[in-house]
């Protein structure tokens, strides 16, 4: 577990030391980039998810992504162990992972899981043929943790792939590529880069390995690398953001006052807590 506290030399001159003060305990054992994003979207949704345990059902898209991630993890783990997994074995692994994940998936009448399962195979084949040969993995599905001094909770990340070229990679599989703004707007890249920095092994860059499933046009790309780099100051600022969210959570828990946020795409019928939320379905 690394320590969340930047060397003083990297701190912005304007940053007050209190920027990094955090509560000793939180009602959760760890925060992650996704819990941070959920809190910033809607504290009441965060409470329902993490404190009341009202978890969203797994969707078919997520099932597809997990199956691809599982197959690629097995492929690169074999390579790290000096073995070679064949494309056909990786394909078998993908289908097996899909079957396992499907058991936890909530399907809607319009969903066709057998179609989605088939759609996952071409991106995997393409990746193994055109991208994987150039990758030298040093870690696969690794858990990275950091702790603020004095805190009992940690900040955690689960990194899909790290390469000897200094890339930190997260796979994304969808019908469309990852939005071009996402590398800079999503907290995940900053979170993983910060964790690597605190481990004393700063990564060169974060890269979404975006893959498209389903039919694509002749000119369209099946795979798109979406890299992003951050300055030490940007990562320091992200660290303050984690500390601020931790303080906000502690204050809300103490007062029992969790704010609701209805002004974004996340609120409405798509929110799993909508039906019982005072600011949602009960309006
Ligand atoms: S319905 Fe809206 S306000 Fe209520 S928890 Fe969900 S996102 Fe938040």
Residue 256 token pair = 């029992």
Residue in this structure with the two tokens 């974004």, named with its chain if needed: 264
Task: Report the separation in Å between the CA atom of 250 and the middle of ligand 1, taken as the mean of its atom positions.
Answer: 20
**Per-residue confidence band for 8, with pLDDT thresholds at 50, 70 and 90:** very low
Residue 261 CA: which ligand 1 atom is closest? Answer: 3
Question: What average pLDDT is seen over the chain?
Answer: 92
Closest CA to 7 of 245, 230, 229, 200: 200
80-115 tens-digit pLDDT: 999 999 999 999 999 999 999 999 888 888 889 999
Q: 266: Cβ below 6 Å to ligand 1?
A: yes
**Per-residue confidence band for 9, with pLDDT thresholds at 50, 70 and 90:** very low
**Per-residue confidence band for 14, with pLDDT thresholds at 50, 70 and 90:** low
**How far apart are the C-alpha atoms of 16 and 33, rounded to whole Å?**
24
Task: Report the separation in Å between the CA atom of 266 and the middle of ligand 1, taken as the mean of its atom positions.
Answer: 7
Distances (CA, A) of 10 to 74, 151, 154, 203, 206: 38, 22, 22, 17, 21
Task: Report the separation in Å between the CA atom of 246 and the middle of ligand 1, taken as the mean of its atom positions.
Answer: 20
How many Å separate Cα 139 from the centre of its chain?
16
Residue 114 token pair = 């057998």
Residue 95 C-beta-side C-alpha neighbours within 13 Å: 11
For the cut 80, the answer to whether the pLDDT of residue 281 exceeds it is: no
Average pLDDT over residues 144-173: 97
pLDDT at 5: 64
How many Å separate Cα 199 from the centre of its chain?
19
Q: At what angle do helices 187-198 and 33-41 cross, to 10 degrees?
A: 140
Closest CA to 20 of 246, 253, 254: 246
Q: 45: Cβ below 6 Å to ligand 1?
A: yes
pTM for this predicted structure: 0.91
Atom 5 of ligand 1, residue of closest alpha carbon: 45
How many CB atoms are closer than 10 A to CB 7?
Answer: 8
pLDDT at 115: 95
């Amino acid at each position: 577990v690394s320590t969340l506290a930047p060397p003083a030399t990297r701190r912005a001159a304007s940053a007050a030391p209190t920027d990094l003060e955090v509560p000793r305990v939180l009602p959760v054992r760890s925060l992650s980039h996704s819990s941070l994003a959920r809190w910033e979207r809607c504290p009441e949704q965060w409470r329902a998810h993490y404190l009341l345990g009202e978890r969203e059902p797994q969707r078919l898209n997520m099932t597809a992504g997990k199956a691809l991630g599982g197959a690629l993890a097995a492929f690169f783990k074999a390579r790290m162990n000096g073995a070679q997994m064949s494309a056909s074995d990786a394909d078998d692994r993908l289908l097996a992972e899909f079957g396992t994940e499907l058991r936890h998936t909530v399907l809607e009448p319009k969903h066709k899981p057998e179609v989605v399962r088939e759609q996952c195979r071409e991106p995997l084949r393409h990746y193994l043929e055109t991208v994987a040969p150039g990758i030298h993995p040093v870690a696969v599905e690794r858990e990275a943790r950091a702790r603020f001094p004095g805190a009992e909770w940690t900040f955690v990340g689960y990194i899909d792939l790290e390469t000897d070229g200094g890339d930190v990679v997260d796979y994304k599989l969808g019908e469309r590529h990852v939005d071009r703004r996402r590398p800079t707007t999503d907290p995940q890249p900053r979170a993983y880069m910060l964790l690597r920095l605190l481990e004393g092994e700063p990564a060169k860059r974060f890269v979404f390995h975006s893959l498209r499933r389903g039919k694509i046009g002749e000119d369209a790309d099946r795979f798109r690398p979406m890299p992003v780099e951050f300055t030490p100051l940007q990562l320091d600022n992200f660290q303050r953001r984690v500390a601020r969210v931790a303080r906000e959570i502690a204050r809300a828990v103490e007062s029992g006052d969790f704010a609701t946020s209805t002004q974004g795409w996340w609120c409405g019928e798509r929110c799993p807590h909508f039906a019982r939320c005072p600011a949602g379905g009960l309006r």
